[in-house]
Amino acid sequence: MCGIVGYIGKDNATRALISGLYRLEYRGYDSAGIALLTKDNIFLKKVAGRVSELDNAIRDRVPDASIGIAHTRWATHGVPNDINAHPHTDCEKRFAVVHNGIIENYRTLKKFLEKKGHRFETDTDTEVIPHLIEEFYDNDLMSAVKKACSYFKGTYGLAIISLANPDCLVVTRMGSPLVIGKGKDEYIVASDLAAIISYTDKVIYLNDGDVAEIHPDRLRIESREFGPVAPEIERVTLSLEQIERGGYKHFMLKEIYEQPVILRDTIRGRLNYEEGIARLHGIANYIEKLRDAERIIIIACGTSWHAGLIGEYMIESLAEIPVEVEYSSEFRYRRPVLKKGTICIVVSQSGETADTLAALREAKRHGATVLGICNVVGSSIARETDAGIYIHAGPEIGVASTKAFMAQIMTFALLSLLLGRLRRLPVDEGRDIINAIRRIPDQIQSLLEELPGQIKELARTFKDHRNFLYLGRGYNFPVALEGALKLKEISYIHAEGYPAAEMKHGPIALIDKNMPVVVIAIKDAIYDKVISNIEEIRTRQGIVIAVGSEGDSQLKKNVDHIIYVPKTLDHLYPLLTILPLQLLAYYIADFRGLDVDKPRNLAKSVTVE
Ligand code: M6R
């Protein structure tokens, strides 16, 4: 949700900033802007639209500068136009600021500043920031920023430049991510690593409340609460290849095709066949607590919430621990009853989702142990949880989550195996699960070779339908939810996911000869019940696209289209049944000519409420 980037050093700042913005564009893409510090003024350019439009607008028309900041926006306050785009400045244009987050009390601050004579030009919350810095500035940018921050309620990642302090860049954060990359006589700061790794692999993660004053050859960090902080430099292993499209038309397609490889990464070193158990070192110190938990609450948003639902089914059936799954945004604002013996697990691909981060903090405030299932190493959620499991999916750039979902499900498969074995499963059953888990990456690989032709055909047939229904039961009910979410977020076709049996309690009214219904009907414990649900659809002339188990020739006779997936254990089927639904959503969106990786109104990580 908004990408910010800042540069100070020996290189051409514009180059670093624009290439950084391209890499951060998946975070928000409705407008973009840049501010460069020159000898006499702050050069400013802001445009509505994509980074490429900013790039075109300034090409060959920018001054030389070695300090600057830039922004790619996902609008919250103020429509996406040139004026509301960042950077924002003060009355005299001596300070420029880029911001990721929301200043919740901006109306009060604006009134206060207007009374003092400040003039505002935009409808944004952000504009109060440079004005407040201007108000408090007394020859020291870092002090003015610290003082201004003490007035803000809300979240922010900020980068600030000032005409009066031309040799430094000041950055700070509260609730929004910010990473500082350290090069040789240069620093590049950004919302995430993607904008940094072509410059350096040495990074410093700022903590909430930290303010950094950065010069080309040194930096100073202070915590607003605790005073000076010694910078901790970490080395990152992310490679450029991982964040490039590598010949695929879209990141989403690349990420779908990466799934066999990333699942091997998710399980690598975590299975012990001899003992029929999984090993999860990240939570090693909490295993007994988990084993003896009276209740587990899984907290997440969006696709991660769907993975949490599958986790609930897995943990309850394999380990017999009661599990609930909560939306982060609901959990954080109600009064959760967290008795001793309750463990919370927050799930997040980005590790920066504002509601999930707030829910984590709320759970901790109630004294709960909070574990994480996270993808982005070093992210806020990964750092604030008591312990956690990384899913090892690598950078996910496509806004529609695919490989992270798979890796989250696999992580729950490992966790439920571990807890199941510690509580009730015999070793042989553990070994059967391990065998089935090990087969999954190859099974997905084969599907990726077999399915695309068939799914493209289906996508061509159905691309102009306005509504879809997705049905599944048991472990595959959350897959139906996720299939529907994928379709609506990238193709803008209305789609609903339902537990198949719930259909007759309402959604059945939607079914007629124009309604495609995607039904996951694999040969699991409730197969016969799903077949009855299919009959109910067919009786009303709905079009059934079934995902079935290979070899189920009977099913083929009862449906209009069938996609087969190989056999596995019931609780592992979601890892296979989601694949055709991801591909179907992708090809429908692509045939509709839509921007699959940057769907309208969305952003990759939702760092505002
Ligand atoms: O980074 P997180 O897993 O916390 O993100 C949660 C949701 O915002 C995310 O899954 C969203 O629903 C995706 N666009 C789904 O494709």
Domain 3-241, what architecture? 4-Layer Sandwich (3.60)
* 459 C-beta neighbours (distance < 10 Å), count: 21
Rounded CA-CA distance 608/600 in Å is 17
Q: Which atom of ligand 1 is nearest to the CA of 350?
A: 1
pLDDT of residue 351: 94
Residue range 39-56: mean pLDDT, rounded: 94
Q: Evaluate if residue 530 carries a pLDDT over 80.
A: yes
Residue 219: pLDDT over 80 = yes
List the one residue out of 103, 197, 217, 575 whose CA is nearest residue 394.
197
How many residues are present in the chain? 609
pLDDT at 28: 86
Task: State the Cα–Cα distance between residues 63 and 217, nearest whole angstrom.
Answer: 23
Q: What is the pLDDT of residues 455-477, one digit of tens each?
A: 999 999 999 999 999 999 999 99
pLDDT of residue 603: 80
How many Å lie between the centroid of ligand 1 and the Cα of residue 401? 6
- Tokens for 8, please give them: 């100070």
Does ligand 1 lie within 6 Å of residue 380's CB atom? no
The most distant pair of C-alpha atoms in the chain lies apart, rounded to whole Å, by 79
pLDDT at 514 over 90: yes
For residue 379 and ligand 1, the question of a CB distance below 6 A is answered with: no
Q: What is the pLDDT of residue 337?
A: 86
Is 304's C-beta closer than 6 angstroms to any atom of ligand 1? yes
Q: 607 pLDDT exceeds 80?
A: no
With a 6 Å cutoff on the Cβ, whether 8 touches ligand 1 is no
Give, for 304, the enclosing helix (H) or strand (E): helix 302-319
Mean pLDDT for 263-268 is 96
Confidence grade of residue 29 (pLDDT, cut at 50, 70, 90): confident
What is the overall mean pLDDT for the chain?
95
* 3-state SS, residue 363: helix
Instruction: Indicate the CATH number for domain 245-449.
Output: 3.40.50.10490
Substitution site in 401, 485, 487 for ligand 1 pocket (most atoms within 8 Å of beta carbon): 401
**Greater pLDDT, 225 or 564:** 564
Distance 606 CA to ligand 1 centre (A): 8
Q: Locate tokens 């290439």: which residue?
A: 19
Cβ–ligand 1 contact at 605 (below 6 Å): yes
**pLDDT on residue 336:** 85
Tell me what pLDDT residue 334 has: 87
Whether the per-residue pLDDT at 504 is higher than 90: the answer is: no
Closest atom, ligand 1, to C-alpha of 302: 12
Q: Is 495 close to ligand 1, i.e. is its CB under 6 Å away?
A: no
**Centroid of ligand 1 to alpha carbon of 453 (angstroms):** 28
**Residues assigned a catalytic role:** 2, 604
Q: Check whether 123 has a pLDDT greater than 90.
A: yes
Cα of 94 from ligand 1 centre, angstroms = 38
Residue nearest to atom 12 of ligand 1 (CA): 302
Query: Hey, do 245-449 and 451-593 end up sharing a CATH topology, with the first three levels equal?
Result: yes
CATH of 451-593, one of 3.40.630.30, 3.40.50.10490, 3.90.230.10, 1.10.357.10: 3.40.50.10490
pLDDT of residue 326: 97
CA 511 / ligand 1 centre spacing (Å): 29
Q: Looking at residue 608, what is its pLDDT? A: 72
pLDDT recorded at residue 270: 96
How far apart CA 440 and CA 438 sit, in angstroms, is: 6
Phi, psi of 269 (to 5 degrees): 70, 10
Spans of all domains in the chain? 3-241, 245-449, 451-593
Q: Is the CB of 607 under 6 A from ligand 1?
A: no
Q: Alpha-carbon distance 578 to 410, whole Å?
A: 12
Distance in angstroms (rounded) separating the CA atoms of residues 26 and 398: 7
Mean pLDDT of 20-24: 94
Question: Per residue in 402-427, pLDDT tens?
Answer: 999 999 999 999 999 999 999 999 99
Is 582's C-beta closer than 6 angstroms to any atom of ligand 1? Answer: no
* Between 187 and 380, residue with greater pLDDT: 187
pLDDT score of 43: 96
d(CA 357, CA 379): 10
Cβ–ligand 1 contact at 483 (below 6 Å) = no
Res. 62 pLDDT band, cuts 50 70 90: confident
Q: What is the pLDDT of residue 570?
A: 97
* Average pLDDT value for residue range 578-583: 98
The pLDDT of 560-582, averaged and rounded, is 98
> How many angstroms does the Cα of residue 575 sit away from the middle of ligand 1?
18
Ligand 1 atom 4, closest CA: 348
Burial-class residue 113 by CB neighbours within 10 Å (0-12, 13-18, 19+): buried
Closest CA to 519 of 530, 504, 505, 507: 530
